[in-house]
Amino acid sequence: MDKLYVIKIGGNIIDDENKLSSFLADFASIDAKKILVHGGGKLATKMAEKLGIEQQLVDGRRITDAETLKIVTMVYAGFINKNIVAALQSKNCNAIGICGADGDVILAHKRQHPVLDYGFVGDVDAINTDLISTLLNKNIAIVFAPITHDQQGQLLNTNADTIAQEVAKGMSSIFDVDLIYSFEKTGVLLDANDDSTVIPEINSSYYQQLKAKNLIFAGMIPKLDNSFAALKSGVGKVIIGKAENLPQLLDGSAGTSIVNE
Amino acid sequence: MDKLYVIKIGGNIIDDENKLSSFLADFASIDAKKILVHGGGKLATKMAEKLGIEQQLVDGRRITDAETLKIVTMVYAGFINKNIVAALQSKNCNAIGICGADGDVILAHKRQHPVLDYGFVGDVDAINTDLISTLLNKNIAIVFAPITHDQQGQLLNTNADTIAQEVAKGMSSIFDVDLIYSFEKTGVLLDANDDSTVIPEINSSYYQQLKAKNLIFAGMIPKLDNSFAALKSGVGKVIIGKAENLPQLLDGSAGTSIVNE
């Protein structure tokens, strides 16, 4: 099987032009099939503020009303996605920017919740591996904006970590997939305020021990739960670490590797 | 050669939700390879107004400063493009929405002008027919937002009529291409205010006669000049007419056909 890297880039890199450019240079130079999944950074929030649209957050998740969906579609699938693609093209990396509606590649449904209406938020049902494989096999990198659709004409705002995980899982029947969550921290830390306390490797029994001792930072738990779910679904390795260290994350010399055993 | 329809949809249809939905149903039901090129309608102008960005127009063309480029990238390549794709998916038409930077499909350069700086406006240099053919041959319709790039990382705002013409020309080495400009008028009219005066067919000598008598509405001249240029470059037929009549434009029972002889 060919190697495929599915790389999620965190919001804080998107907001920093120099860091983003440096990250994209590293991404462009990866000599393998690759997918980049980006979130939105602070730009969508800023745009909403300028337009006088109030944002609601519940449990750290944006409630996506119709106006917010319009803004995230513009900012994520338009501005950020196309600027990343143009930057990669300038670095000799042929790339195509799409969202889940394009080529029907990510089918989702509007989230159902017994109490809360998240608005136009999508939970992923299926990945269309055929078109993704076709593009990768033409040596085109795919850049995903975190928007999906329901096949009924509705676009849906979808968590970028989830997109990365679902794409990695879906593609693992065809490729040897490594899933990389790159963000502002050096990895999973024993002390959230000390970048030198990165844990090099976590398997599921060690994860249970750390959780039982409350040594896992709350914000990291969904990422780790998602990582173990991805491993169970065929992803070969999950790596969590600092975006600036992308080459080292890929060669295993930095970050935290999440492994099955 | 397989038939390929390259269809430009005018801005006023984009602004009218019902007309757009009806148009997209007609587009979805075309049983042939197809490309849709859209402009932006009034949404980009409205968004610029809301954000307090002043728009400059010279000779009916928008001067694209950095802030305006940001808005058209958001509105054209984000909001409009993805909503058209989601609508087509709901009408059982698999579609992918891209701009010229995606897959490096439309290479352009910043317009050079001896007097006027148009800003980030692109003139087209080349069409990458390979990826476009691959997608069409997978029976995926392509929806183009009128944004190109210069391979140096710069996105460029590009006239949607020009995109349609250049894509039609570029693809005519591989497909039997009909180019359709669909807008609010029934076709090329002898009396611009009377929809019943549509000219069914214009060849280049008849066009010269009409122009000499000042019988061609000024706004139509660039479209007709572009049409004859497209015919000279291998496009089989150019049809100009009302978007609501799309099926009739394709079967030749409505609109104006522009032909070589």
Whether A146 has a pLDDT exceeding 80, the answer reads yes
Q: Find the closest chain A residue to B49 by CA distance.
A: A51
Distance from chain centroid for Cα B39: 7
**pLDDT tier at A52 (50, 70, 90 boundaries)?**
confident
Per-residue pLDDT, A116: 83
Coil, helix or strand at residue B189: strand
Q: Which of B82, B101, B131 sits opposite A99 (nearest CB)?
A: B82
Rounded to an integer, what distance in angstroms lies between the CA atom of residue B27 and that of residue A214? Answer: 57
Quote the pLDDT of residue A55. Answer: 75
Alpha helical stretches, state H, A114-260: 129-137, 160-171, 204-212, 221-232, 246-251
- Rounded to the nearest angstrom, the minimum Cα separation between A99 and chain B is 8
Domain boundaries, chain B: 3-258
Please give the residue that has the higher pLDDT: either A175 or A226.
Answer: A175
Q: Domain B3-258's class? A: alpha beta
pLDDT reading at A220 higher than 80? yes
Residues 141-180 of B with CB under 8 A from A: 147, 149, 151-155
pLDDT tens per residue across span B20-46: 999 999 999 999 999 999 988 788 888
Closest CA to A130 of B138, B50, B71, B240: B138
In this prediction the ipTM stands at 0.95
> Which residue shows structure tokens 């006239």?
B159
Contact B73 A94 (CB under 8 A): no
At residue B40, the pLDDT reads 83
The reported pLDDT for the residue numbered A60 is 66
Q: How far is residue B219's CA from residue B224's CA, in Å, rounded to a whole number?
A: 10
Question: Which pLDDT does position B204 carry in this prediction?
Answer: 92
Across the range A95-124, mean pLDDT stands at: 94
Nearest-CB residue to B102 (from A73, A78, A97): A97
pLDDT tens readout for residues A60-106: 666 899 999 999 999 999 999 999 999 999 999 999 999 999 999 99
Interface of B with A in 102-141 (CB under 8 A): 102-104, 130-131, 134-135, 138, 140
* Mean pLDDT, all residues of chain A: 93
pLDDT category at A244 given cuts 50, 70, 90 is: very high
pLDDT of A53 reads: 87
Q: Are B260 and B204 in contact (CB under 8 A)?
A: yes
Low-confidence stretches of chain B (pLDDT < 50) are none
pLDDT of residue A67: 92
Give Cβ neighbours of residue B114 (< 8 Å, ≥ 6 apart): none
Q: Which residues of A touch B87 (CB under 8 A)?
A: 153
pLDDT in the model for residue B138: 98
The strand pairing partners of B142, in sequence order, are: B35, B96
